[in-house]
């Protein structure tokens, strides 16, 4: 049986990128793997969130995890900060993480550009904390979207380096798991890049259907094709990319054909896309309302998760301490 570990930062509500890049695969994988899915609240600290937001953000991600179908009996669902062993492993791995490689990380360079007034050490060592999350449970596979590819590669490097330095064969080198062979990137509705909270271009799982319609209607498009079978510009390709994950293949084929014949009407495409996004996310919204009415469900899930995660984590920490030479009197 494979061990699977993954998490999502608690920065607010989850969007379609989180769902199709990660959460949907969590749900699939929990059926026949040993799964650890957590809410990365320590990771959310890099942007200095208001303390009043921290708990509500954790709560909404947990609610959405369960509403989307994660089952606390099948998976270990926990809050990152409920398992402080991760901080110890983070410290240990940091002793073998080098400034040059951390500074070169794409996510660090992006964030340093976006928040030049707050280039903190947590931001720099974000990949080591993520590696600690994964290695703490010795994962074989990590379901993540394409934007996390580099962090996973660094995790493998840290694992390899630890094994080589201490001459052991202790940590596995975890690989990405994505739906199919390619890692998914859900684009935003603003014509370029990925869907992301800090990009402000998201459709959230708990957006009201009216809001979803409005957002899709406003998505960037061009003046339309002028020649049959032409290459789609990025903003149009993006709408098709989202359509491919939420709509039936016949729907995608229909609009593709309309495009190729230069007969496409973006208004029709957007109406269909919005309807399909709403249909795909409706059951999740319904379940969110049920969970909101019964917060005991959340308490039960994390109490169980914390216990199971700490059991696995403390075993790793005990063994890593032994390997590194810590001894008790």
Residues with catalytic roles = 111, 194, 197
Which of 33, 58, 90, 145 forms a contact with ligand TYM (CB under 6 A)?
A: 145
Determine, following the binding rule CB under 6 A, whether residue 7 of this chain makes contact with ligand TYM: yes
Determine, following the binding rule CB under 6 A, whether residue 30 of this chain makes contact with ligand TYM: no
CB of 145 to ligand TYM, least distance (A): 2
CB 141 within 8 A of CB 179: no
Give the binding-site size for ligand TYM (rule: CB under 6 A).
26
Determine, following the binding rule CB under 6 A, whether residue 191 of this chain makes contact with ligand TYM: no
CB of 314 to ligand TYM, least distance (A): 19
CB of 167 to ligand TYM, least distance (A): 27
CA distance 252 to 275: 13
Which of 133, 207, 213, 276 forms a contact with ligand TYM (CB under 6 A)?
A: 133
* Nearest alpha-carbon partner for 271 in 215, 233, 225: 215
Determine, following the binding rule CB under 6 A, whether residue 154 of this chain makes contact with ligand TYM: no
Determine, following the binding rule CB under 6 A, whether residue 6 of this chain makes contact with ligand TYM: yes
Which of 130, 274, 278, 320 forms a contact with ligand TYM (CB under 6 A)?
A: 130
CA distance 142 to 296: 29
**Backbone phi, then psi, for 6, in 5-degree steps?**
-160, 165
DSSP string, 245-309: HHS-HHHHHHHHHHHHTT---HHHHHHHHHHHHHHHHHHHHHHHHHHHT-THHHHHHHHHHHHHH
Which of 135, 195, 219, 239 forms a contact with ligand TYM (CB under 6 A)?
A: 195
> Which string of b and e fits 162-193 if b means at least 16 CB within 10 Å?
bbeeeeeebbbbbebbbeeeebbbbbbbebee
- Considering the complex, state which of residue 8 and residue 216 has its C-beta at the smaller distance from ligand TYM: 8
Contacting positions for ligand TYM (CB under 6 A): 5-9, 17-18, 21-22, 40, 43, 130, 133-134, 142, 144-145, 147-148, 151, 184-186, 194-196
């Amino acid at each position: 049986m494979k061990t699977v570990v993954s998490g999502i930062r608690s920065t607010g509500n989850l969007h379609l990128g989180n769902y199709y890049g990660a959460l949907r695969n969590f749900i699939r994988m929990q059926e026949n793997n040993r799964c650890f899915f957590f809410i990365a609240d320590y990771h959310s600290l890099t942007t200095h969130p208001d303390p009043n937001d921290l708990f509500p953000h954790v709560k909404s991600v947990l609610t959405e995890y369960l509403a989307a179908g994660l089952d606390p009996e099948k998976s270990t669902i926990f809050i990152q900060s409920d398992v402080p062993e991760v901080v110890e492993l983070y410290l240990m791995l940091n002793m073998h993480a080098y400034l040059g490689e951390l500074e070169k990380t794409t996510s660090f360079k992006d964030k340093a550009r976006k928040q030049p007034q707050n280039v903190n050490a947590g931001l720099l060592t974000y990949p080591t904390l993520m590696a600690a999350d994964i290695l703490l449970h010795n994962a074989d596979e990590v379901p993540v979207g394409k934007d996390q590819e580099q962090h996973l590669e660094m995790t493998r490097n840290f694992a390899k380096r630890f094994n080589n330095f201490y001459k052991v064969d202790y940590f596995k080198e975890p690989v990405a798991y994505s739906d199919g062979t390619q890692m998914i990137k859900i684009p935003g509705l603003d014509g370029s890049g990925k869907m992301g909270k800090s990009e402000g271009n998201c459709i959230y799982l708990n957006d009201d259907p009216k809001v979803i319609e409005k957002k899709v209607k406003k998505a960037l498009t061009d003046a339309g094709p002028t020649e049959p079978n032409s290459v789609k510009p990025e903003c149009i390709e993006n709408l098709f990319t989202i359509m491919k994950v939420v709509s039936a293949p016949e729907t995608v084929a229909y609009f593709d054909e309309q495009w190729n014949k230069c007969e496409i009407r973006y208004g029709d495409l957007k109406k269909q896309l919005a309807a399909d996004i709403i249909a795909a996310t409706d059951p999740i919204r319904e379940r969110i309302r049920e969970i909101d009415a019964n917060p005991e469900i959340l308490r039960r899930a994390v109490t169980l998760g914390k216990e199971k995660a700490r059991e696995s984590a403390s075993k790793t920490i005990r063994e890593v301490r032994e390997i590194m030479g810590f001894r008790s009197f």
